[in-house]
């Protein structure tokens, strides 16, 4: 077994194990931390395939932003997870039966899947060759030309999400004190400082 | 062409570009003028969508752009026109609520415009990725619209329920797409159809099942209908009026393109799924609506039933079937908008009322409204010679021609059962003791109700042109 194969099995094993721990661990904070571990190993798998840009984006975006946000949300929300799990035993039989039926069906389907010998020839080769160009340029060349429609649509979807977040959460309350920078900057010593003649032992 | 450049004929997608750019301009105007611009935003949004519709009809050419991901053909143009019409009237009907209700916010028309854009992409999608992006854009805007009255517990619940179940359905759709892509090697509909032509593997059929289940959520076909009554009831009524009309048409158009475009060679496989969805929806729509007292919940079950009837035409798998579905969608859209114009007019001094019993004696307090609503109810029930009868006639005709006799018989029986609750509303309006009248109907509601009522009553006059347009659009797939 060569080194690449060794790392592949190392990353995938940790990835699957930590993904399982995400749903199995009792403490939600631990779940998020396991999720981060899973992201790191997935990034490692990307790296093995030579997709270094995707690997680093996965770490920067998912670990750096999304998972940290999850962590904040989980820590801030006062959710009693033990209470949430109370119904589990009650629904376990029916849920378990449905789950097993689905699993058997999927195994039957995907178990019959075989890779055709000529499959290797069907793999699309990037143009230009990856040896000549960098990962980022190869993605950019496709994303801004052939897939520009999808790219712009994705941008619009993010705009909708942003509008939605603002519509549903932003509220202008009138009963709170706000900072007024204009008045703050407009103050001068004449209006800001007053001199009091304080007599000893009396105070203001 | 040097490497890295690619040219598209953007003229094909001009209506979509207009909506996208227009929505952003509206957003800028709204952000700088604040909440007081809510009413003028409604007007500008209606003008924007109407302009997009005019461009769609008169100048936008047909064609395929964006690397075969976006197709504009006769079917797409007709469906887009319906969606644009539905959105225009939905925004117009919410105009009166923009000022005095707590959900009169300038973002609402913008969200409707963006949802409309998503629907147009869904209708034009000729690629799995485009389909998903359009669907998700439409759905996200709708989730927010459902919860736009955030001070109301029921509206927030409706938005959350819609979001959770919508996310679940998107997951199923995506899983189906991944199976289809994995087994056929294509995301483009033409490529998928070609790969499926020879022989179909089990995995492809699984993909079809998952994809159709995901889409059935969006058209609210039983057994994937659970969200519909709660969302219809919880969302503010102008928003419900929008939900009931355009998104249903878009999702159904997408279903037609997926089944007849991508899965055209797997017709034998998806026909049974669609037939099951149709039977379940028709029966559920007929029986579950009987006990409802809230008119919005009633309309939710009614829409489930109507989607079942439309699916009968789809299950037929013939050109007559597709043109039947198209006629059904045209008539359903117009009837629904008219009915919701009436529901929005059910307003007393202290706000909207939603109980069916509030309509009692409407014939004496508001004779014209009662007459129009009666025509719409008879039409929804499918009584000749009103529009709703012809809608059902064409889908059942297609089913009989395709020798799906069981489906047609169950459909007719469900239609008879369903007639009960429509007729009950008519009985309440004409034979019960009147309650105090509603506040006078706003002029935009009168307009929508008038157009819808006249279309419904005098459908036979325009039946010929409508049928020929629908046949022309259906020919796209054959």
Check if A167 contacts B (Cβ < 8 Å): yes
Check if A166 contacts B (Cβ < 8 Å): yes
As given in the structure block, the two tokens for residue B282 are: 């028709």
On whether residue B367 sits in a domain, the answer given is yes
Check if A126 contacts B (Cβ < 8 Å): no
B41, B110 contact by CB (below 8 A) = yes
What value, to the nearest 5°, has the Cα angle with vertex B332 and ends B327 and B336?
160
B65, B12 contact by CB (below 8 A) = yes
On whether residue B17 sits in a domain, the answer given is no
* DSSP conformational letter for B358: G
Our CA-based measurement puts residue A142 at a distance from the nearest CA of chain B, in whole angstroms, of 8
| End-to-end Cα, chain A, rounded Å | 85
Q: Looking at the predicted structure, is the pLDDT value of residue B379 above 80?
A: yes
- Indicate yes or no: CB of A164 within 8 angstroms of CB of B141: yes
B140, B122 contact by CB (below 8 A) = no
What confidence tens digit (pLDDT) does each residue in B254-290 have?
Answer: 999 999 989 988 888 899 999 999 999 999 999 999 9
| End-to-end Cα, chain B, rounded Å | 35
Our CA-based measurement puts residue A188 at a distance from the nearest CA of chain B, in whole angstroms, of 31
Q: Where are the domains of chain A?
A: 1-82, 125-170
What confidence score (pLDDT) does residue B101 get?
A: 58
Helices (H) and strands (E) in chain B, counts: 20, 4
Dihedrals phi, psi of B470, to nearest 5 degrees: -65, -40
Q: For the CA atoms of chain A, what is the radius of gyration?
A: 28
What confidence score (pLDDT) does residue B5 get?
A: 62
Prediction pTM value = 0.89
Residues paired with residue B369 on neighbouring β-strands, in sequence order: none
How many Cα atoms sit within 13 Å of B55 on the Cβ side? 16
Q: Strands of B80-168 (E only): list them.
A: none
- List the single best residue of A109, A126, A153, A155 to mutate versus B (max B Cβ within 10 A): A153
- Indicate yes or no: CB of B114 within 8 angstroms of CB of A153: no
**Inter-chain contacts counted by CB atoms under 8 A, chains A and B:** 83
Segments of chain A with pLDDT less than 70: 1, 78-82, 84-85, 112-128, 130, 204
Residue (of B394, B270, B379, B267) closest to B320 by Cα position: B394
CA distance B457 to B387: 7
Q: Looking at the predicted structure, is the pLDDT value of residue B1 above 60?
A: no
Tell me which residue range forms the domain holding B364: 265-478
CA distance B248 to B251: 5
Our CA-based measurement puts residue A32 at a distance from the nearest CA of chain B, in whole angstroms, of 21
Check if A150 contacts B (Cβ < 8 Å): yes
Point out the least confidently predicted range of A46-50, B149-153, B307-311, B469-473. B149-153
Query: Residue B170: enclosing H or E segment and its boundaries?
Result: helix B153-184
Beta-carbon contacts of A56 under 8 Å, excluding residues fewer than 6 positions away, are A43
Q: Write down the ipTM of this complex.
A: 0.92
On whether residue B270 sits in a domain, the answer given is yes
Chain A CB contacts of B162 below 8 Å: none
Chain A CB contacts of B117 below 8 Å: 156
Chain B CB contacts of A161 below 8 Å: 140
On whether residue B313 sits in a domain, the answer given is yes
Distances (CA, A) of B311 to B241, B255, B270, B317, B473: 22, 10, 12, 10, 17
Closest partner residue to A113 (CB to CB) among B6, B144, B203 is B203
Place B384 in a pLDDT band, splitting at 50, 70 and 90: confident
- Indicate yes or no: CB of B66 within 8 angstroms of CB of A145: no
Check if B111 contacts A (Cβ < 8 Å): yes
- Indicate yes or no: CB of B130 within 8 angstroms of CB of A150: yes
Chain B CB contacts of A154 below 8 Å: 133
The CATH number of A1-82, from 1.20.120.1200, 3.20.20.150, 3.90.550.10, 3.40.50.2000, is 1.20.120.1200
Check if B110 contacts A (Cβ < 8 Å): yes
B118, B138 contact by CB (below 8 A) = yes
- Indicate yes or no: CB of B134 within 8 angstroms of CB of A113: no
What confidence score (pLDDT) does residue A8 get?
A: 93
What confidence score (pLDDT) does residue A7 get?
A: 93
Our CA-based measurement puts residue B144 at a distance from the nearest CA of chain A, in whole angstroms, of 5
What confidence score (pLDDT) does residue A124 get?
A: 63
What value, to the nearest 5°, has the Cα angle with vertex B418 and ends B417 and B420?
75
Point out the least confidently predicted range of B21-30, B88-97, B174-183, B345-354. B345-354
Check if B464 contacts A (Cβ < 8 Å): no
What confidence score (pLDDT) does residue B2 get?
A: 46
Check if A66 contacts B (Cβ < 8 Å): no
CA distance B141 to B110: 9
- Indicate yes or no: CB of B105 within 8 angstroms of CB of A112: no
CA distance B387 to B462: 10
DSSP string of B119-160, one letter each residue: HHHHHHB-BHHHHHHHHHHHHHHHHHHHT-STT-HHHHHHHH
Check if A23 contacts B (Cβ < 8 Å): no
Looking at the structure of chain B, the number of domains it has is: 1
User: Minimal Cα distance from A148: which residue of B?
Assistant: B66
On whether residue B121 sits in a domain, the answer given is no
């Amino acid at each position: 077994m060569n080194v690449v194969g060794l790392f592949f099995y190392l990353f995938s094993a940790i990835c699957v194990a930590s993904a399982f721990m995400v749903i199995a661990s009792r403490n939600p904070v631990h779940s998020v931390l396991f999720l981060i571990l899973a992201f790191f190993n997935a990034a490692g798998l990307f790296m093995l395939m030579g997709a270094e840009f995707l690997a680093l984006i996965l770490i920067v975006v998912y670990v750096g932003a999304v998972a940290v946000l999850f962590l904040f949300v989980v820590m801030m929300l006062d959710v009693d997870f033990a209470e949430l799990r109370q119904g589990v035993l009650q629904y376990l039989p029916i849920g378990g039966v449905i789950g097993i039926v689905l699993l058997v069906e999927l195994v039957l389907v995907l178990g019959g899947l075989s890779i055709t010998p000529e499959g290797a020839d069907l793999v699309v080769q990037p143009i230009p060759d990856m040896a000549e160009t960098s990962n980022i340029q190869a993605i950019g060349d496709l994303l801004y030309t052939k897939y520009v429609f999808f790219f712009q649509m994705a941008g619009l979807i993010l705009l909708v999400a942003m509008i939605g977040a603002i519509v549903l959460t932003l509220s202008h309350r009138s009963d709170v004190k706000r900072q007024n920078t204009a008045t703050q900057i407009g103050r001068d010593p004449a209006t800001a400082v007053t001199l009091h003649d304080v007599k000893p032992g009396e105070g203001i | 062409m040097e490497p890295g450049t690619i040219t598209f004929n953007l003229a094909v997608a001009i209506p979509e570009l207009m909506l996208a750019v227009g929505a952003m301009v509206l957003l800028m105007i709204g952000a700088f003028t604040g909440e007081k611009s809510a009413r003028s935003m409604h007007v500008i949004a209606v003008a924007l969508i109407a302009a997009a519709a005019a461009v769609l009809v008169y100048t936008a050419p047909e064609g395929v752009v964006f690397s075969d991901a976006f197709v504009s053909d006769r079917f797409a143009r007709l469906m887009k026109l319906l969606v644009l019409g539905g959105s225009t009237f939905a925004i117009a009907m919410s105009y009166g609520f923009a000022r005095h209700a707590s959900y009169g916010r300038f973002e609402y028309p913008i969200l409707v415009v963006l949802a409309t854009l998503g629907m147009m992409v869904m209708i034009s999608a000729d690629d799995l990725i485009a389909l998903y992006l359009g669907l998700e854009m439409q759905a996200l805007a709708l989730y927010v619209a459902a919860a736009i009255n955030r001070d109301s517990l029921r509206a927030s619940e409706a938005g959350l329920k819609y979001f959770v179940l919508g996310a679940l359905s998107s997951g199923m759709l995506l899983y189906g797409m991944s199976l289809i892509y994995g087994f056929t090697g294509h995301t483009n509909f033409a490529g998928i159809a070609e790969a499926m032509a020879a022989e179909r593997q089990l995995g492809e059929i699984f993909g079809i099942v998952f994809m159709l289940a995901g889409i059935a959520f969006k058209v609210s076909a039983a057994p994937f209908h659970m969200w519909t009554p709660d969302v219809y009831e919880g969302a503010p009524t102008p928003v419900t009026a929008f939900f009931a009309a355009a998104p249903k048409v878009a999702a159904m158009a997408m279903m037609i393109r997926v089944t007849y475009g991508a899965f055209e060679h797997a017709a034998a496989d998806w026909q049974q799924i669609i037939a099951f969805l149709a039977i379940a929806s028709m029966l559920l729509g007929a029986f579950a609506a009987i006990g409802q007292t809230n008119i919005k919940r009633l309309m939710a079950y009614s829409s489930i039933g109507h989607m079942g009837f439309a699916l009968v035409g789809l299950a037929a798998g013939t050109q007559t079937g597709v043109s039947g579905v198209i006629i059904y969608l045209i008539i359903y859209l117009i009837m629904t908008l008219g009915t919701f114009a009436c529901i929005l007019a059910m307003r007393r001094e202290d706000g909207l009322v939603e109980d069916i019993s509030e309509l009692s004696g409407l014939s004496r307090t508001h004779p014209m409204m009662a007459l129009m609503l009666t025509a719409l109810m008879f039409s929804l029930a499918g009584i000749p010679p009103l529009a709703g009868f012809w809608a059902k006639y064409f889908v059942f005709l297609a089913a009989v021609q395709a020798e799906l006799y069981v489906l047609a018989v169950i459909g007719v029986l469900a239609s008879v059962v369903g007639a009960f609750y429509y007729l009950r509303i008519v009985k309440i309006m004409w034979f019960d003791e009147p309650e105090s009248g509603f506040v006078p109907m706003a002029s935009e509601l009168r307009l929508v109700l008038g157009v819808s009522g006249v279309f419904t009553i005098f459908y036979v006059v325009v039946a010929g042109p409508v049928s020929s347009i629908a046949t022309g659009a259906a020919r796209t797939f054959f």
